[in-house]
Amino acid sequence: MSSSAQASQPYKANPKQTVLTFLITLTIFSLVAYFTFFPLRPSLLLRRLHRKLPKPFYRLFGRISHALQPLLVHFSAPTDLAVAIRSFSDYSFAQQAALDAKWRSFERMGKRHRRLGQKLGWRAKLESVEGKLEANSRVTDELAALGMERARKEGVPLGLGMRSRFARQDGRVVEVLKHFVRDWSAEGKSERDALFPPILEALEKEFPKRDGAEELDVLVPGCGLARLAYEIASLGFSVEANDFSHFMNLASSLIFNRTQSINQHTIHPYLHSFSHHRSIENMLRPISFPDVVPPKGIDLHFEPGDFLKLFPEKETHSAVVTLFFIDTASNLCDYLETIWRVLKPGGIWINEGPLLYYGNPGMALPLEDVIRLAELMGFVIEDRRTLNDSKYTADDEGMYSFAYHCEFWVARKPVNSLKPPPPTSSNASPSSAATPSQ
């Protein structure tokens, strides 16, 4: 009995076993089918899995860190102003440290080679660089002093202890010195002439009458050292200039509040790098600024700080002008929505620049998608073209240069824009599409 029962056992269908067998067969079949239809090397498959698997986690962490952002701000001291002050006031110290490394490298060479260096006057050259640093630090010291004044006036906590020492950003000081050349010196004229005319012409064409009868408010976010904002104001517009960076804001303040005469300041902006110089004279050559002193009565106002927070009111400006700006956004949608909100119906947004994305923005879109995004928000692109090469804080006498091929466009917020065109893509959320018209 028992033996016959045992013998018949294997022929009885065991439901668990059947399912397992089915699953194993299915898996093997799927794998064979997968590799037949998508002949992949296993490493490629792994890479694909590696790309796909973490996505739900990115989504989760993105949501959480978005929710925590207001809290995290309190731990992210020191402020940009404190960092700017520290960086300007330590300019000499930081540059001297870089030069010290040059001295050490030279002294590490063998005696015979140092003698050759001596014939080339290398030590004297290093000394002359040190001398010119002093001239630059006269300007950076003044910027630091302006920063202290502003911090006192606005009650900004400076946190000038160790934290800001470590937060020093020497590169941004050098950048400011080069921006004085670009924006406010005769040498920078060629860079300005490659970029300003299309913007100024578009404004003049759009607003031929600037007699004060109509309020023509132009907003220039990311104004840097504000030369463009100044040129727009000179055409008879009322201009609000905004920049987030206190490095830039303090430098504008030097031009607009501490400068009485043409070429009052002199710097040596090219001594920070030893590369690409044809001669030490080129490297150390002085540049004076400003080439014009902005008159006091000009209708130009500064709003330092976060562009996204400073202009909460709707429909306040006739035009918004962005030059080398939109690629600084951590979320381009926020920038475009803000531009949309502050524009009066019928107002224009003029943009010019490349797409040099900073950090890790929400979307680092290619140009065609930036345009498409603007259209999804309701803008109508009216004029668009690619500009000739434009250099950026280049040394015209050096052995190196690069150029941007900037895109220029004029986009209008239509008068009847209560309903922006419906997004064509089905997964665009209705709330984001509705925001601009609020």
Interface ranges with ligand NAG (CB under 6 A): 252-253, 256-257, 302, 388
**CA proximity to 342, closest of 246, 217, 235, 223:** 217
C-alpha to C-alpha distance for 229 and 321, rounded to whole angstroms: 9
Omega of the bond leading into 422 within 30 degrees of 0 (cis): no
3-state secondary structure of 182: helix
Nearer to ligand NAG by Cβ, of 227 and 341: the residue is 227
Pairing state between β 238-242 and 404-412: unpaired
Per-residue HEC secondary structure of 260-313 comes to CCCCCEEECCCCCCCCCCCCHHHHHCCEEECCCCCCCCCCEEECCCCHHHHCCC
Shortest CB 207 distance to ligand NAG, Å: 21
Residues with Cβ within 8 Å of 340's Cβ and at least 6 positions away in sequence, in order, are 377, 378, 379, 413, 436
Residue nearest to ligand NAG (CB): 253
Shortest CB 147 distance to ligand NAG, Å: 11
Question: Hey, what are 183's tokens?
Answer: 């924006």
Question: Hey, what are 84's tokens?
Answer: 């700017």
Nearer to ligand NAG by Cβ, of 30 and 257: the residue is 257
Shortest CB 234 distance to ligand NAG, Å: 16
Shortest CB 282 distance to ligand NAG, Å: 26
Nearer to ligand NAG by Cβ, of 229 and 280: the residue is 229
Nearer to ligand NAG by Cβ, of 141 and 375: the residue is 141
Shortest CB 194 distance to ligand NAG, Å: 6
Nearer to ligand NAG by Cβ, of 137 and 253: the residue is 253
Neighbours of 238 (CB within 10 A): 18
Nearer to ligand NAG by Cβ, of 18 and 388: the residue is 388
Shortest CB 167 distance to ligand NAG, Å: 22
Nearer to ligand NAG by Cβ, of 243 and 395: the residue is 243
C-alpha to C-alpha distance for 415 and 345, rounded to whole angstroms: 4
| CB 320 within 8 Å of CB 346 | no
Shortest CB 73 distance to ligand NAG, Å: 24
- Separation of CA 372 from chain center: 21
